[in-house]
């Protein structure tokens, strides 16, 4: 019998045995293909270096203008925070708050939480209450959207280039570097290695104590085991005094309470708001030639006829196709889970991962609107204001993300009888 500790897939609940993997490799679930853990030699030091560099570029990106617009010798430029404040002063405070959270507050919080964890470990000291920092990282991860911001800025630059001379600022280049550093930081950070480092420093057997090496069933729930979605620790329910992870203190549950009902509520609200988000004007332009109202689709058409067809395709996919397909995909996942269907379970698991991955890209048009509103303010010549569809569209993006977070993907597999016997080793890649 293998003595390797058990782990459970957080997306299908299958019990598997940890297996050694090669450097820079990844272990995936044998049943649904979800990633389980990775091997990142030197990951702590590399993540710390990327975090420090990202913090420096974050300060630089917000200290200097992102982009400027020059008309007849008059230069209008703005920082990202300045653009957020312009939206707020125009009365579009829900969008201003959403942009502030996803591009300024959440990325900064993400970097500070990582720094809080990694800096003490670099010097062989355990950070105080690392569980709080880990829960914070898990909470903010889906809302860090710097890469979507960069693409939104590029689309805004194309639209602005026909109005006046575009002057890229230092902030734009700093945000580009920050995007690369955040991507590198995310790719090198492996929570499993951090917890192992913390356990080694404390010289405690907490991890081994709570991680079972045998089980009488093939899934965690049927074996009476909890899997923590935040740190991955497997815990025996009978040994816990409360339903909280003994390592990171996250709340534990066999299945997310009210998953189906809450997912339906978010989906119905998103579907209702999707109609005004695409039918009403998302921007209102006033100039000496008159007033014009643009919907999301008219913006796509404008990019296409102006020759920027690659950006037109990107905006169409991110702003029109993705929200609609997310709603359809999540409805499909919820209905099949409610009907306890065994049809295409592995493909349904893949659909769920895709929905989680692409959800943030629908924020593209929100960032485009933010920059246009901030820069096109030439009083009698031309001004741009956010239209009523902007708030509806932002709500659709947020609601579909909440719907994906509320759905428990383990429900897809609850009707499947896994193979009896000992847990199999994970799939290595």
Domains of the chain: 255-416 (1.20.140)
Tokens at 346, concatenated: 């592995």
**DSSP state letter for 234:** E
pLDDT single digits (tens) 13-28:
888 888 888 877 888 8
By the 10 Å C-beta count (0-12 exposed, 13-18 middle, 19+ buried), 258 is classed as: exposed
Sign of dihedral through CA atoms 250, 252, 258, 260? positive
Chain CA centroid to CA 135, Å: 15
pLDDT band at 372 (very low <50, low <70, confident <90, very high): confident
Global pTM?
Answer: 0.84
Q: In what order do the strands lie in the sheet with 6-8?
A: 6-8, 15-17, 424-425
More confident residue, 203 or 408: 408
Give the pLDDT confidence score for residue 271 in this predicted structure. Answer: 93
Q: What is the average pLDDT across 359-375?
A: 82
- Torsion, Cα 348 349 354 357, to 10 degrees, reads 150
User: Residue 52 pLDDT > 50, yes or no?
Assistant: yes
pLDDT single digits (tens) 265-292:
999 999 999 999 888 887 776 655 556 6
Chain CA centroid to CA 212, Å: 31
pLDDT band at 215 (very low <50, low <70, confident <90, very high): low
What is the Cα–Cα distance from 242 to 366, expressed in whole angstroms?
A: 42
Give the pLDDT confidence score for residue 332 in this predicted structure. Answer: 93
Give the pLDDT confidence score for residue 420 in this predicted structure. Answer: 43
- Terminal Cα distance for the chain, rounded: 24
Tokens 């090669």 map to which residue? Answer: 22
* Residues ≥6 apart with Cβ < 8 Å to 322: 358, 359, 361, 362
Give the pLDDT confidence score for residue 56 in this predicted structure. Answer: 94
User: Residue 264 pLDDT > 90, yes or no?
Assistant: yes
Give the pLDDT confidence score for residue 7 in this predicted structure. Answer: 82
pLDDT single digits (tens) 174-197:
999 999 999 888 888 888 888 888
More confident residue, 99 or 428: 99
pLDDT single digits (tens) 220-249:
778 778 888 777 777 776 566 667 777 777
pLDDT single digits (tens) 121-179:
888 888 888 888 888 888 888 898 888 988 888 888 887 777 778 888 898 899 999 99
Stated as kind and residue range, the H or E segment containing 415 is: none
Task: Give the 3-state secondary structure of residue 42.
Answer: coil
Chain CA centroid to CA 158, Å: 26
Question: 382 - beta bridge partners?
Answer: 287
Percent of the chain with pLDDT over 70: 87
């Amino acid at each position: 019998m293998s003595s390797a500790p058990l782990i459970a897939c957080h997306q299908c609940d299958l019990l598997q045995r940890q297996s050694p993997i090669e450097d820079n490799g990844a272990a995936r679930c044998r049943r649904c293909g979800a990633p389980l853990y990775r091997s990142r030699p030197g990951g702590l030091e590399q993540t710390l270096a990327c975090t420090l560099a990202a913090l420096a570029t974050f300060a630089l990106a917000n200290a200097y203008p992102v982009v400027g617009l020059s008309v007849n010798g008059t230069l209008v430029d703005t920082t990202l925070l300045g653009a957020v404040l312009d939206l707020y002063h125009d009365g579009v405070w829900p969008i201003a708050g959403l942009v502030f959270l996803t591009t300024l507050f959440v990325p900064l919080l993400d970097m500070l939480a990582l720094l809080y964890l990694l800096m003490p470990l670099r010097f062989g000291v355990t950070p105080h209450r690392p569980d709080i920092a880990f829960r914070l990282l898990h909470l903010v991860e889906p809302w860090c959207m710097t890469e979507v911001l960069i693409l939104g800025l590029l689309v805004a630059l194309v639209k602005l280039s026909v109005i006046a001379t575009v002057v890229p600022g230092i902030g734009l280049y700093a945000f580009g570097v920050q995007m690369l550093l955040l991507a590198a930081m995310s790719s090198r950070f492996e929570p499993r290695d951090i917890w192992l480092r913390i356990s080694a420093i404390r010289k405690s057997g907490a991890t081994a104590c709570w991680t079972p090496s045998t089980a009488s069933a093939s899934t965690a729930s049927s074996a009476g085991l909890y899997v923590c979605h935040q740190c991955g620790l497997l815990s025996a329910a009978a040994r816990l005094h409360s339903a909280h992870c003994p390592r990171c203190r996250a709340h534990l549950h066999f299945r997310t309470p009210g998953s189906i009902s809450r997912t339906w509520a978010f989906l119905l609200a998103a579907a209702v708001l999707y109609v005004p988000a695409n039918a009403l004007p998302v921007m209102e332009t006033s100039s000496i030639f008159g007033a014009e109202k643009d919907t999301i689709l008219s913006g796509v058409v404008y990019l296409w006829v102006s020759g920027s067809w690659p950006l037109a395709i990107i905006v169409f996919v991110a702003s029109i196709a993705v929200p609609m397909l997310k709603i359809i995909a999540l409805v499909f996942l919820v209905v099949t889970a409610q009907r306890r269907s065994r049809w295409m379970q592995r493909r349904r698991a893949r659909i769920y991962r895709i929905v989680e991955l692409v959800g943030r890209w629908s924020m593209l048009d929100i960032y485009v609107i933010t920059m246009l509103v901030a820069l096109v303010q030439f009083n009698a010549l031309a001004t741009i204001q956010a239209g009523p569809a902007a708030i509806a569209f932002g709500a659709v993006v947020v609601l579909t993300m909440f719907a994906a977070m509320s759905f428990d993907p383990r429900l897809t597999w609850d009707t499947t009888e896994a193979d009896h016997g000992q847990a199999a080793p994970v799939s290595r890649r």
